[in-house]
């Protein structure tokens, strides 16, 4: 805190006075001390006037004292304004500190529960198993369908009851094989549910972090523009259409091209 200014009226009336003591390594005049000094200056002025002296000098002293009192009051108001600003700044810094700590906690949770090597390996393993199981079941179904087609063609050409029975049993076995292959759907659903649970966990904590910093609307201002860098045929490949997607040609649009 700055050293208090020595007013001219104090030097003229009471001469040199010792500097204020240090409190905690800094000069620390508070509001009460300033007001006590102003009262002391007024009392000294009154004593000087009562003791006699030149009226012009007294008037000059009064004018100087009034001016310095005004300066002291202005200094006091400056201190008050600075204290208010410091209090507001502290509140804002506390809010930022709390937001940073909460965000660090969410990131730590995501890293521990979702982004570590073990959890990501599980997700990749589940998705790989879905792809592999789907491919295997598809191959099995196609082979069974091809065998059924061949057996049905042969069945139409044979007259022997024994041969017809053999071909019929073969067709039945292939049908059972198709049913067995369709069981992949249940396993696939279970694996995808595990992956979706992990994705929902990640999504929840990301939403919490966005809420900490003002919500989705505040984050949108920082989203970079999406630029499609694909070239050639890759720009036309958007995968299968999901429910509610726009920008895909419907079957009616395709049929209209041939009308």
pLDDT, residue 36, reads 75
pLDDT band at 212 (very low <50, low <70, confident <90, very high): confident
Give the containing element (helix H, strand E) for 187.
helix 184-212
pLDDT band at 23 (very low <50, low <70, confident <90, very high): very low
pLDDT, residue 192, reads 87
pLDDT band at 155 (very low <50, low <70, confident <90, very high): confident
Contact status, residue 45 vs residue 9, Cβ threshold 8 Å: yes
Residue 27 has pLDDT above 60, yes or no: no
Q: Cα separation of 31 and 84, whole Å?
A: 15
Q: What is the pLDDT of residues 77-102, one digit of tens each?
A: 888 888 888 988 888 888 888 888 88
Residue with tokens 């997607």: 245
Residue with tokens 């050293």: 3
State how far Cα 103 lies from the chain centre: 7
Can you give the pTM of this predicted structure?
A: 0.48
Q: What is the pLDDT of residues 225-245, one digit of tens each?
A: 777 788 877 777 766 666 666
pLDDT, residue 197, reads 84
Q: Cα separation of 255 and 259, whole Å?
A: 7
Average pLDDT, the chain: 76
Residue 254 has pLDDT above 80, yes or no: no
Q: Cα separation of 99 and 213, whole Å?
A: 7
Q: What is the pLDDT of residues 35-76, one digit of tens each?
A: 777 777 777 666 655 555 456 666 777 777 788 888 888 888
């Amino acid at each position: 805190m700055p050293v208090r200014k020595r007013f001219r009226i104090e030097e003229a009336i009471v001469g040199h006075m010792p500097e204020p003591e240090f409190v905690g390594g800094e000069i620390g005049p508070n509001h009460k001390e300033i007001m006590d000094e102003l009262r002391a200056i007024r009392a000294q002025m009154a004593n000087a006037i009562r003791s006699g002296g030149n009226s012009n000098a007294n008037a000059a002293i009064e004018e100087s004292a009034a001016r310095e009192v005004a300066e002291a009051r202005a200094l006091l108001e400056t201190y008050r304004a600075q204290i208010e600003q410091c209090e507001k700044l502290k509140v804002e810094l506390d809010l930022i500190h709390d937001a940073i700590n909460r965000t660090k906690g969410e990131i730590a949770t995501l890293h521990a529960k979702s982004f570590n090597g073990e959890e990501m390996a599980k997700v990749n393993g589940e998705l790989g198993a879905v792809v592999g199981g789907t491919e295997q079941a598809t191959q099995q179904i196609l082979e069974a369908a091809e065998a059924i087609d061949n057996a049905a063609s042969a069945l139409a050409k044979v007259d022997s009851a024994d041969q017809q029975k053999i071909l019929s049993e073969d067709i039945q076995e292939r049908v059972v094989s198709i049913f067995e292959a369709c069981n992949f759907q249940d396993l696939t659903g279970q694996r995808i549910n595990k992956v979706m649970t992990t994705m929902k966990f990640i999504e929840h904590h990301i939403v919490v972090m966005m809420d900490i910093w003002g919500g989705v609307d505040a984050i949108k201002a920082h989203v970079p523009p999406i630029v499609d860098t694909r070239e050639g045929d890759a720009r036309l490949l958007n995968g299968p259409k999901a429910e509610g997607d726009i920008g895909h040609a419907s079957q009616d649009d395709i049929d209209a091209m041939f009308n």
